[in-house]
Amino acid sequence: MNKIPMVDVLAWHRPIQKKLEEKAVQVLRSGRFIMGEEVEAFEQEAAQYLGAKYAISCANGTDALVLSLHAAGIGPGDEVLTTGFTFFATVEAIMQVGATPVLVDIDSETFNIDPVELERSITSRCRAVLAVHLFGLPAALNEIQAVCDRHGLKLLEDCAQSFGASYQSRKTGNYGLLGAFSFFPSKNLGGFGDGGLVITSDLQVAETVRMLRNHGSACQYYHECSGYNSRLDEIQAGLLRIKLQYIEEFNNDRRKIAEWYRELLQDTDILCPEEREEHIYHQFTVVLPSGRDMVKKRLAGKGVSSAIYYPLPLNKQRALAGLASEYELPVCEQLSEHCLSLPIYPGMTRGQVESVVGVLVKAMH
Ligand SMILES: Cc1ncc(COP(=O)(O)O)c(C=O)c1O
């Protein structure tokens, strides 16, 4: 059996490889590499696709979060509520603007922040909620917004894993004041290196992010504040413009693969993510009753990749020692020991999904 990786970017890109290569050559020959036509066009096209008034690109998803928090006025002394089960960058961004994360436990079915726990965790210093749409499934935004409204908190969205996912017919990133996206190559809209984006429909916030990403400057060599050097390259923007044209197909492909997994795993004791139309399956993450690490090893032995997102909840991370030792996040801890993400990417075949499931089911016994 051929090896099955978590993401096969070459298979994913095969149908559009020629267009990508032509665009790369076009940008190389243009001689313009920073803040040119491709970036401008990509920002307009991304804003239109996502349904936001403004889209501002930047160097990566972590910066998109930092720029969003900074533009939302979050800083030293403030606390920001977020999930205890996410990639470290979510809390890293909160700490980079000088604020303190408050970790909240998750819902065991969605892997996303639990709105009841969210409300119980609010302190007098909380200024905002940073909701994460983990694995491509939107968090419970209505309930989260209601908590924010009751307590005067700003809502920000970490959409690094949810490009194109909708919640009640609006794309994620539009629900809060700002939405932050990542174009890390494995993401649903994956680039060819690092890249990020902030969306908002608030003009003042958009102008602040635009200034911050370019050294606090709106007009060259005139600086309104101290900012960052966080720009998307022309070549990335050009290539992302091509992939953006196919994002609906890519996400539908992921949905179809998820359906295959669900069908083939239905008579096992492996828990699959529930079928939900808003899910875009950045990851297909199952919950195993026991023996997760052994199963992962057995899969690897048969050439099937799998990944543990995430092996350690944030309250157990050494980087947050002191701060996080006070948190008990039982659902995060339980899922971190039982979750396993299986290969999924546009272009993955039914035969490959059958192979993964065949090996997985055998590995369980
Ligand atoms: C939930 C989440 N937030 C933030 C990030 C950071 O994005 P980047 O790697 O582009 O900085 C990631 C990327 O892995 C992520 O998964």
Q: 96 is written with which tokens?
A: 């980079």
Specify the pLDDT at position 29: 98
Q: Which atom of ligand 1 is nearest to the CA of 182?
A: 10
Q: Is the pLDDT of residue 268 over 90?
A: yes
Indicate if the alpha-carbon torsion angle 295, 300, 304, 309 is positive or negative. positive
What residues contact residue 119 under an 8 Å CB cut-off, 6+ apart? 147, 150, 151
Distance (Å) from CA 100 to ligand 1 centroid: 18
Helices marked H in the chain: 9-13, 17-30, 37-50, 61-71, 89-96, 115-120, 141-151, 203-212, 234-244, 247-265, 292-301, 330-338, 350-363
**156 CB under 6 A from ligand 1?**
no
Asked if omega into 175 is within 30° of 0 (cis), the reply is no
**Which of 6, 161, 182, 233 has most ligand 1 atoms within 8 Å of its beta carbon, as the pocket-test mutant?**
182
Q: How confident is the model at residue 59 (pLDDT cuts 50, 70, 90)?
A: very high
Where exactly does CATH 3.40.640.10 map onto the chain? 9-103+111-244
Q: Kindly name the residue from 23, 154, 171, 187 that is annotated as catalytic.
A: 187
Give one word for 4, left, alpha or beta, with left for phi > 0 and alpha for psi -120 to 50: beta
- Going across the sheet that includes 79-83, the strands are 54-58, 196-200, 178-182, 154-158, 126-132, 79-83, 100-104
Residues pairing with 126 in the sheet: 79
Residue 111: pLDDT above 70?
Answer: yes
Is the CB of residue 89 below 6 angstroms from any atom belonging to ligand 1? yes
* Residues 6 or more apart whose Cβ sits within 8 Å of residue 273: 135, 137, 258, 279, 281, 284, 285, 286
Q: What is the pLDDT of residue 10?
A: 97
**Amino acid letter, 305:** S
Q: What's the pLDDT at 104? A: 97
Does the pLDDT of residue 324 top 80, yes or no?
no
What is the residue-wise DSSP string for 193-223?
S--EEEEES-HHHHHHHHHHTBTTEEETTEE
The CA-CA-CA angle for residues 183, 186, 190, to 5°, reads 35
Does the annotation count 187 as an active-site position?
yes
Q: Is the pLDDT reported for residue 300 higher than 80? A: yes
Percent of the chain residues past pLDDT 70, beyond the cut:
99
Whether residue 196 has its Cβ less than 6 Å from ligand 1: yes
CB atoms near residue 246 (< 10 Å): 17
Q: How far away, in angstroms, is 302 Cα from ligand 1 center?
A: 29
Candidates 1.25.40.10, 3.30.460.80, 3.10.50.40, 3.90.1150.10; correct CATH number of 247-363?
3.90.1150.10
Angle at 114 between CA 110 and CA 116, to 5 degrees: 145
Residue 190 Cβ < 6 Å to ligand 1: no
At residue 325, the pLDDT reads 62
Tell me what pLDDT residue 365 has. Answer: 85
Least confident piece of the model among 8-22, 148-162, 259-273, 316-330? 316-330
Compute the average pLDDT of residues 346-354. Answer: 98
**9-103+111-244, CATH topology level:** Aspartate Aminotransferase; domain 2 (3.40.640)
* Residue range(s) occupied by CATH 3.90.1150.10 in the chain: 247-363
Confidence of residue 145 (pLDDT cuts 50, 70, 90): very high
Instruction: Report whether pLDDT(96) > 80.
Output: yes
- Helix (H) / strand (E) element for 102: namely strand 100-104
Task: Determine if residue 113 is left, alpha or beta; phi over 0 gives left, psi from -120 to 50 gives alpha, anything else beta.
Answer: beta
Integer Cα distance of 16 and 20 in angstroms: 6
pLDDT-derived band at 123, boundaries 50, 70, 90: very high
User: What spacing in Å lies between the alpha carbon of 344 and ligand 1's midpoint?
Assistant: 18
The mean pLDDT of 107-136, rounded to a whole number, is 97
Averaged pLDDT of the chain: 97
pLDDT digits (tens, 9 = 90+) for 168-201: 999 999 999 999 999 999 999 999 999 999 999 9
pLDDT of residue 263: 98
